[in-house]
Amino acid sequence: MSDLKFNHSFGFRTRRFINWFPMGLTYALLYMGRYNLTVAKTSLGDLMTKEDFGIIFGAGTVTYALSFLINGPLIDRIGGRKGILISSAGSAMANLGMGLYLLHLIGSGDPSNAPLRLIFSILYSINMYFQSYGAVSIVKVNAHWFHVRERGGFSGIFGTMISSGIFLAFTVNGWILDLAADIRPGVHMEWLVFVVPAALLAVFFVIEFFLLRDTPSCAGHADFDTGDASSGENSSEPYKVLDLFKRILTNPIIMTVAIIELCTGVLRNGVMHWFPIYAREVWVLPNEHMLINGNWEHWWIIAACFGVAIVSGVLAAVRKGKGRAVLIILGALAFLAPFVQAGWGGLLFVAGVIGGNVAGWVSDLFFQSRRAPAAAGLYAVLLACCIAMVFLMARPGNEVQWAGDDSGLNAGDRIVELAGEKIEGWEDVRAAAVCWPAQCLDSVWDAETCMCTTADVNVHEAKSRPSSGTIPAVLLRDGVRISVDLPDPKMKQKAGDQRRIAARPVLPISPFWMGVIVFLLSLCVIGTHGLLSGTATMDFGGRRGAATAVGIIDGFVYLGTAIQSISLGFITARNWVYWPLFLIPFAVIGFVLLTRIWNAKPAAQGGGH
């Protein structure tokens, strides 16, 4: 079969771009308003514990997964345009609600005793209900605009949309908090990472209202046979709901892909969400580290890279043959290069763009649009990365690598005791510093939560009198055991405040090794997700059942996400060493199932345009 994309007119390709590109940006903003919870948690610290985060995110993902039972068939009937408008409007309102509640909570004077877990579980579940309209709407619309032989390329588009959304969620939201901290130091501004996505989603609701169309015929172009599971069907009417579910649920390929994508959900979010928490909590990496928020301070390098990308793109537009392909690759790499320094979100963006585009290209070029072989290759690498993580897990000890000028510590010091507590590893340093009683402003010290609170607590539970401005410590400095009083970095605290020692530990192994592994893992898992949820669903669901197919499969993705969220919330609160061990079985299951559908391909006739 020939590659039909060359048969599309220039006008059609232009109108298709106008259709999918703003919709892709809207989907990216939905991600920004979905994973902002992770950014808020890492900044809020123990105001939102790991167990709180696991339960809140788990509640949202279960809601997301179950919503597809309703929203998939609904979008197959009303169309993707209405679906993406519902999604952007609803998510904007839910994010605004979370932001306003957090702003109220921070200003209440007693955030530690507020029902944050309950309220956020409700609001985040509402957000995830409206989020569930996003993917099904995108796939439903694009199923009418892309032939099956072009959909490997769409897998790259889908992966890029996901990756840009992850960049917005993790890095841009992180930059927003950094900027807020510079403007108002010492003030909790985490509510901004909910309000800003809400405002942007409202803007794109308006843009999509005027630009997006469900089918080529709605935009003044002729519809065409897309060569998928709906190929050859004369009717364009939606299936009856029961017939649609029967068609999808009795398709062994779709249900096998669904189980594989459950494993993908565990693996994707098991790394994407928990790695930045691990990097901050265990490694205590600074905000500007490339594995956290990164920075773009060397603006001239960034401008040069983007300049090369633009020039390469212009030259590629007028060249033909192999030279054009070289220019496209050069331009893409130049464009991606600055994002390597843009923190965890930037790394995920690079990984997703490469993974999504390579996976789609390989499936179309080498496997005749069969998706399983390319996905199986990615899963094999993914499994190897999970195993490698086991050997890179190392708990930092009590030796100081870096210390602030006013901390009272020196690089090379070993902290033997802090605040009367024996210190073995750096997590003991953090716990001891937090639990040294503070002078509470308009509140009292709660020894159980190690936090000032306005609630009624037994003030006599405190192990000693409030801080007088120092924290006792025993150090090994230059081989000599000494007792010192370290300056208290936060002697006076309001309700909900916590102190942190301005120091970082010596790491037993360079974080860049783990960074390489989680980068490769993310590349594989985002590539697989785009290929299966974004492309295979269109292939096997067909134009008339695409939304329900992607709904069921994405529902399984988020069932997997809920499994890892709740499980890892409890597991990592006890010992991080079990983190990669939890992921490995799911990588094995996904790989084995992909080998069972190696030759799967929708039976369809070609179509022209």
What letter would DSSP give residue 399?
Answer: B
**Ordered alpha helix ranges (H), 33-150:** 36-44, 50-78, 80-106, 116-142
Alpha-carbon Rg for the chain, nearest whole angstrom, is 26
What residues contact residue 582 under an 8 Å CB cut-off, 6+ apart?
270, 564, 567, 568, 571
Interval 393-407 mean pLDDT: 91
Residue 232 has pLDDT above 60, yes or no: no
Mean pLDDT estimate for the chain: 85
Which range scores top for mean pLDDT: 53-67, 231-245, 294-308, 405-419? 405-419
Instruction: Write down the pLDDT at residue 464.
Output: 55
Interval 192-203 mean pLDDT: 96
Provide the β-strand partners of residue 414: 399, 476
Q: Is 411 found in the same domain as 280? A: no
Interval 551-556 mean pLDDT: 82
Domain count, the chain: 2
Buried b (16+ CB within 10 A) or exposed e, 321-334: eeeeeebbebbbeb
Residue 460 has pLDDT above 70, yes or no: no
Instruction: Write down the pLDDT at residue 518.
Output: 94
Select from 484, 505, 526 the last residue of a domain: 505
Quick one: pLDDT band at residue 327, thresholds 50, 70, 90?
confident
Percent of the chain's residues with pLDDT above 90: 36
Read off the CATH number of the domain in which 566 is found: 1.20.1250.20
Quick one: pLDDT band at residue 569, thresholds 50, 70, 90?
confident
Total residues found in the chain within this entry? 609
Select from 480, 505, 530 the last residue of a domain: 505
Instruction: Write down the pLDDT at residue 609.
Output: 42
Q: Is 54 inside any structural domain?
A: yes
Q: For 13-17, 81-85, 123-127, 458-462, which range has the lowest pLDDT when averaged over its residues?
A: 458-462
Q: What are the structure tokens assigned to 208, written together?
A: 């999509």
Read off the CATH number of the domain in which 431 is found: 2.30.42
Q: Is 443 found in the same domain as 382? A: no
Quick one: pLDDT band at residue 462, thresholds 50, 70, 90?
very low
Q: Is 488 found in the same domain as 473? A: yes
Q: Is 464 found in the same domain as 571? A: no
Q: Is 273 found in the same domain as 410? A: no
Q: Domain limits at 499?
A: 400-505
313 burial via Cβ count (<10 Å: 0-12, 13-18, 19+): middle
Pairwise pLDDT comparison (328 vs 392), residue with the higher score: 392
Q: What are the structure tokens assigned to 86, written together?
A: 């519902």
Q: Is 522 found in the same domain as 490? A: no
Q: For 20-34, 147-161, 291-305, which range has the lowest pLDDT when averaged over its residues?
A: 147-161
Instruction: Write down the pLDDT at residue 111.
Output: 66
Buried b (16+ CB within 10 A) or exposed e, 585-607: ebbebbbebbeebeebbbebeeb
136 burial via Cβ count (<10 Å: 0-12, 13-18, 19+): buried
Instruction: Write down the pLDDT at residue 5.
Output: 44
Q: Is 42 found in the same domain as 21? A: yes
Q: Is 229 inside any structural domain?
A: no
Interval 310-333 mean pLDDT: 84
